[in-house]
Amino acid sequence: MKKQYLALVLIWVIVLTFSPVAPPIRAEEKEVMIENFTFKPKEVVVSAGEKVIWIQKDRAPHTVTANNGGFDSGRLTKGDKFTHTFSKKGSYDYVCKFHPAMTGKVIVK
Ligand SMILES: [Cu+2]
């Protein structure tokens, strides 16, 4: 009886040791803050397939608009987020439509 109990405990220990911790199923993502009329960081590097999330923290409205037309957030107000997944390698320049001096870049490797 005692041996059986020990065997059970042993089995449990083995099961707990080797049971995989639920792997986080999420793609990598990078965040860009939109703050004080700037994109922070101004330049981000991601791998193909990764997401970039822009978080709008300014009172003034902004956009995240690709120069090549590949993406456009539309008008973002404070608290809005915009996500784009970059599947192709390359260099993507973007701008805020309302404030052309606000520029940023995403490099996809
Ligand atoms: Cu702007």
Residue 87 lies in a domain: yes
> Whole domain around residue 40: which residue ranges?
27-108
Residue 6 lies in a domain: no
Tell me the residues surrounding ligand 1 (ion) with CB < 5 Å: 62, 96, 98-99, 102
Residue 13 lies in a domain: no
Residue 1 lies in a domain: no
pTM above 0.85, yes or no: no
Residue 48 lies in a domain: yes
Reported as a single tens digit per residue, the pLDDT across 79-98 is 999 999 999 999 999 999 99
User: What is the Å distance from ligand 1's center to 60 Cα?
Assistant: 7
Residue 14 lies in a domain: no
CA distance 83 to 59: 20
Q: Are 44 and 107 in contact (CB under 8 A)?
A: yes
How many distinct structural domains can be found in the chain?
1
Residue 10 lies in a domain: no
Cβ contacts of 64 within 8 Å, gap of 6 or more? 34, 39, 54, 71, 72, 73, 76, 82, 84, 94, 96, 104
Write down the pLDDT at residue 26: 59
For residue 84, what are the β-bridge partners? 52
User: What is the Å distance from ligand 1's center to 98 Cα?
Assistant: 5
